[in-house]
Amino acid sequence: MFSFGVDKVWVGRLLLANKRRIYDMDWAEGSALPHIKRVSRIKHAILGKYLPSWAIILGSANRRLNYFDCFAGPGRYEFDSEAVDGSPVIAVWAAKAFVEARPTHVLNVILTEKDKHQAQQLERHLIPLTPYPKNLRVDVLHEDSTTFIPDLLSRVQSLGPSFFLIDPYGHPLSLPVMNEILSRSRTEVLINLMWYRINMDLGNSAVQGHVDQLFGHQQWRQMPFMGQSGTSREESFLEYFVSQLRAKYVLRFRIGFDPEDKMKGERTKYYLLHASNHSRAALLMKEVMWPLGDEDGTFDFSGESQGVLISRTPQILELREILLRIFAGREIPFDSIREETWNLPFVERHYREAIQKLRSDGIVIVTPITSKKSGLREKDMVRFPNTAKA
């Protein structure tokens, strides 16, 4: 039974019905694994690096955690003639390692997939991970998340710390549903926003209803991006979509078309958006996303071995100037500096390098609180000069 506060009778019936629907089908033993492209694997890399740290951080103050994969898929794919794990298998591996090291914790992994055959495949691909520890609950549900998740949320009294992966092939869950998730304490979502598909639907009256469902209204039809094209339209739409999310922190990771797609130019295929309302989650995800981007310093991924044409590798001198301007005349903890500038394209080591250079040049004064005399981390206080000149 799920461990969060939800109608137990409803859940029991749901799980029993799902087991019957999945196991009553023939096992397609000879089925080939679906192919996955390099640009699609990047989200699996992000997930695999983020989930262990997410569980450890939230598990330090909470005994029960929940992970939801809203569009789970078959669980394994073919890439370069080899079998690779998909998001649900990656999540279960991470969950199993977490609870095995923490016997007093409980972790629920809820994997929903509306396609019967894919739900069946997922069950098969999870067998090597069994038996699960007693404090790990893994449920594969043959359900449509567009109705299942709202129904679940309406029944849950207290969800607890939860991570939702919203990764469909087309349109994600509606914004009202995502905002309901984000309204719960200590919840966060990783959204696959399939821009190329949405862009095609924006001006097509036959399918604009899908976009209505995405936003939960029709006001988007009057937005400026409807009269724009190219990069301007894309950026304007993304800004509008992010503005509709009730999240204080939204990180964006742009994914280009894969070389296999044979698309000309540097067009966007989709965006990964990480939305949360706590700064620590945003800073952690930024640490995960940044090194996976092109040219070791871009929140883009093109799938090309040589990266993008224009590098946005962070310049430490640029960061120094920004910090001197923003924090002029202030004394502030190191972690608070990072939190207040969370949306800058820099990670912790860049901040440390920039501030330590300012320190060695006698421009800022660092008072150790957390670290030793020459270190710089967490609560160490940094005093910036009143002038922004380095």
Domains along the sequence of the chain with CATH: 8-301 (3.40.50), 316-383 (1.10.10)
Q: Give me the mean pLDDT over the 355-363 stretch.
A: 96
Predicted TM-score (pTM) of the model is 0.88
Please report the pLDDT score of residue 297 as a whole number: 53
pLDDT digits (tens, 9 = 90+) for 203-256: 999 999 999 999 999 999 999 999 999 999 999 999 999 999 999 999 999 998
The residues pairing with 139 across neighbouring beta strands, listed in sequence order, are: 110
Share of the chain above pLDDT 70, in %: 86
Q: What is the mean pLDDT of the chain?
A: 88
Q: Which of 246, 194, 191 is nearest to 68 (CA)?
A: 191
Q: Is the peptide bond before 131 cis (omega within 30 degrees of 0)?
A: yes
Share of the chain above pLDDT 90, in %: 75
pLDDT digits (tens, 9 = 90+) for 234-244: 999 999 999 99
Tokens representing residue 385 in the block: 């000069």
The residues pairing with 254 across neighbouring beta strands, listed in sequence order, are: 271, 300
- CA dihedral for 326, 331, 334, 336, sign (positive or negative): negative
pLDDT band at 299 (very low <50, low <70, confident <90, very high): low
Please report the pLDDT score of residue 258 as a whole number: 85
pLDDT digits (tens, 9 = 90+) for 262-289: 776 678 999 999 999 999 999 999 999 9
Amino acid at 258: D
Q: Is the distance from CB of 215 to CB of 190 less than 8 angstroms? A: no
Tokens representing residue 205 in the block: 């009256």
pLDDT digits (tens, 9 = 90+) for 22-73: 444 333 444 589 999 988 899 999 999 999 999 999 999 999 999 999 999 9
302 pLDDT higher than 90: no
Tokens representing residue 78 in the block: 């073919």
